Each structure stands twice: as C-alpha cells, then as structure tokens.
Structure 1
Amino acid sequence: MKDLGSLRYFLGIEVAYSLRGYLLSQSKYVADILERARLTNNKTVDTPIEVNAKYSSSYGLPLSDPTLYRTVVGSLVYLTITRPDIAYDVHVVSQFVASPTTDHWAAVLRTLRYLRGTVFQSLLLPSTSSLELRAYFDADHGSDPMDRKSITGFCIFLGDSLISWKSKKQSIVSQSLTEAEYRAMSSIQIAHNSVFHEQTKHIEIDCHLTRHHLKHGTITLPFVSSSLQIADFFTKSHSISRFRFLVGKLSMLVAATS
C-alpha cells in the first residue's frame, strides 16, 4: 500500500475541497456525454424537462437506430450519482430504451442542453454537517400516462449533506393518493391514527410497519408543508423558479474551475 495523496478523481467523479466541505462533480464526464451525443448547437435551457411534460411509448416515430439513445441514457444514469437535479427526467427517458422514438430523443436532447449550461454544477457535502438523518418522501398519484402507476421520489440527508435520492415508478397501481403517499412514507395522519377506513384497508401492512417504527421512536414524522417538500422535486417537472428553489435545497452549486 502507498499514499496516493488527496482524492481528486475516481471513476469519473471529481472531488474538490474547500472550507465549506467537499464538492463532488462530473464535469469531464458531462463534456464526454455532450461530445458523444454530437449536439449541433450551443443552445442551453434552464430546466432539464419541460413543465407538465408527459411521454408514452406511442409518442413520436421510432428511431431507425436506437444505439445512440441507449448509450446516452446509460451515461445519464451514471451521471445522477452527483446530479440529483436530473434524476426525474433520467427516470422518464430510461423507460423507453427498448423502443425509443423521436419524441423521447427530443427529451434527451433537452436534458443535454440543460447539462451544457450547468457543466460545473456540484454537490456540496458540508464540513459542518450534523449526524441527524432526515428523509423526505413524496408520490405523484397515477401520473404515468402509460400504466397509471405513481411516481415515488425520496431524498435523504445526513445533516445538511444529501447522501441518497431516487425517482422511480411504484411497482403496482395505487388506488388512491393516500395509498401512493403511504408507499412513499409521507402520509403522517394515517400513521398516527390507529383507526383504518375503507380506502386504506389494503395498505395495512405498510401502515403497521410505519406505525411500529413510529411507536418505538425509530422515526418521527413531522409535518412538512407542500412548498418545502423537497421530495416533490423527484416526482414531476417544475417551473424555472420552483426548480431553482429546490435545487438550492439539495445543496447544489456551481464549482469554481481549478
């Protein structure tokens, strides 16, 4: 064994140090993706996906050669290691790798144009973070136009450091918003209430598990207003102002070049 010095670059992830903490980025990896995709102009956009954008396997014309689509989307999946700001749109375009269309490729191009304008976006892990674990969960009920499954989003912080996040489709169709949100661990009222009603009978297992940990103090379920529900970022597209607000809550910033 030998000391290789301070960590600077590992598997495409760049690490920078400052008095504020550690900065994780993949700027070189982003540049490689943009080059691989062969974008024809320098246009940039403010958000990686259009507001209220919906995509289906039947939208657009099939791509004659889906190889580039699959390659770029696979690269974007790896990029989400340090870029939670593209997690939702990467989740969307990843669903169509088997049979991508022109509409799906247009969605990928928009994400790439957003990345072109945010190449040096970094994830900050503050040096002053506490060891308190906080998690935000949310669900967008029946939002997938193809099968009406709900989208679950979550993000987990250790102190002020974002350490885990996800945007994913739930495995089964939820029959109500209550059910979708309970599966996403955000239905506080039902967890505190021991009386079930007709709409929640079929999620008793989820409810009992949550209530068990609540009763034993493993977790607490404080109320979070909709405006401050950070996990909402991972369930749908947003306006420019809302998008920027939530990105700020995720401790993302533009790193200085070195």
Structure 2
Amino acid sequence: MIITGDDPEYIAFVKARLRGQFLMTDLGPLRYFLGIEVFSTSDGFSISQEKYIQDLLARDALTDERTVETPMELHVKLRPTDGDPLPDPTRYRRLVGSLVYLAVTRPDISYPVHILSHFVSAPTSVHYSHLLRVLRYLRGTITRRLFFPRSISLQLQCYSDATWANDPTDRCSLSAYCVFLGGSLVAWKTKKQVAVSPFEC
C-alpha cells in the first residue's frame, strides 16, 4: 500500500492502524513500483522507466546501436497493406504491449504507440520498421523522466489538438490532449475519433 500526504504524524497514525488490522511491512519511501522508478528531491519528484527500457532493449536486442531524434517521422500515414506480412507477429505484439505500458511515464511516445497498436492483428515489415524506430528513439532518450514539481498551484490547464482525416483507410481524425495541474502533467491521451466529420469527406 502507498500512503501519501504531507503530515508525518497522521501518516504514522494511519500506518499503525493498518498494522493493527492487516499483516503489512513498511518498505519506507517509494523508490520502485511495477517497473516505475521514483526519485524525490527538494524541488519535487520524478518518475522514470529507465530500467524497464534497458530490460526491453536487452530482451529484444536490436542489431545496432543507432538512435534517432524523434519516435516517428513527420507526416507518416501507415496502412494495413504496407509491406509484407510478418511470418510471426508475436514479437511485434509483445513489443507494442511493452510500449503501451511504457507510455505511462513517456507521453512523448503516446502518438506512435497509438498508431502502431492498430496493426497488432496483422503487422507487416513496414510497421515493424517503424516500431524499431521507436525503440531507437528510446535508446537515445533513456534517461528522460516525468517531473512533478512541488507546487502549491492548483491551476488546471488543458491542451488539445486533432489531425484532419489522418487515417488513410477510414478518413477518421486523431484527437489528443494533455492536462496540467500546476506544473505537473497529470493526464494525456491520443485517440482515433469514432466518426468521420462531414467536413472531412
């Protein structure tokens, strides 16, 4: 169980009550949980999945040490028929699943992971090459962290954007948003719109 707050006496009280009812161990300040590393400083705390990325790259060893500056090229529009079908899609599916979990702390890969996840049922060589690009990007940005500053500001700021008829197969647009509470990014998402706007036809 993770207990948060800024009143040490009340936190100690809650822990004591819990120990009276349940068999539990106090592991001290949170440092690592479900593949997510937590770093606390006087300015705030940050979360990272650096070890998770290292394990991912080691397990699915890339054949080279190249890195790239962006997780996906600009203006790429992937289609289900691009390239040749992979003889065994298992690795593609496993990697996409790992990247979906990695996006918990890496909003910068949210868009390409969303696109690549569309093809898990029948991935091709082209889709796989774009997947490798995301891995090369992660290799070059492995130390990036999501930082949450210690701020008393509770100002809520939301940003959103959308593509226009971006999907080449069904002409649906993509929507994306991110939400900041004070200086902290607290929510983000990329999603295909469920309907085609009449203005996109």
TM-score calculated relative to the size of structure 1:
0.67
Aligned alpha-carbon RMSD (Å): 1.1
Paired letter, 1:34: L
Q: 1:91 aligns with which of 101, 107, 114?
A: 114
Say if 2:177 is the partner of 1:165.
no
Q: 1:112 aligns with which of 104, 119, 135?
A: 135
**Secondary structure in 2 matching 1:95:** helix
TM-fit CA distance, 1:2: 3.5
Contact 1:149 1:171 in 2 (8 A): yes
Paired letter, 2:73: E
**Secondary structure in 2 matching 1:144:** coil
Percent identity over the alignment is: 53
Q: Deviations over 1:45-95 (max 9, x none)?
A: 000001111100010000000000000000000000000000000001000
Paired letter, 1:90: V
TM-score calculated relative to the size of structure 2:
0.85
Q: 1:100 aligns with which of 123, 131, 151?
A: 123
Report which of the two has the higher share of helix: 1
Q: 2:39 aligns with which of 16, 34, 48?
A: 16
Q: 1:6 aligns with which of 29, 40, 51?
A: 29
Paired letter, 1:141: W
TM-fit CA distance, 1:153: 0.3
Q: Distance in 2 between matches of 1:171 and 1:12?
A: 33
Partner of 1:133: 156
Q: Deviations over 1:159-207 (max 9, x none)?
A: 1100000011011112237xxxxxxxxxxxxxxxxxxxxxxxxxxxxxx
Paired letter, 2:78: Y
Contact 1:129 1:161 in 2 (8 A): no
Say if 2:56 is the partner of 1:33.
yes
Q: 1:80 aligns with which of 103, 116, 120?
A: 103
Corresponding pairs, count: 177
Partner of 2:93: 70
TM-fit CA distance, 1:126: 0.6
**Secondary structure in 2 matching 1:16:** strand
Say if 2:71 is the partner of 1:48.
yes
Q: Distance in 1 between matches of 2:97 and 2:155?
A: 33
Q: Deviations over 1:75-123 (max 9, x none)?
A: 0000000000000000010000000000000000000000001111100
Q: Distance in 1 between matches of 2:55 and 2:48?
A: 14
Say if 2:147 is the partner of 1:121.
no
Contact 1:140 1:152 in 2 (8 A): yes
Say if 2:176 is the partner of 1:153.
yes
TM-fit CA distance, 1:19: 2.1
Contact 1:125 1:162 in 2 (8 A): yes
Q: Deviations over 1:115-154 (max 9, x none)?
A: 0011111000011251111111111121111111000000
Residue range with higher mean Cα deviation, 14-23 or 79-88? 14-23
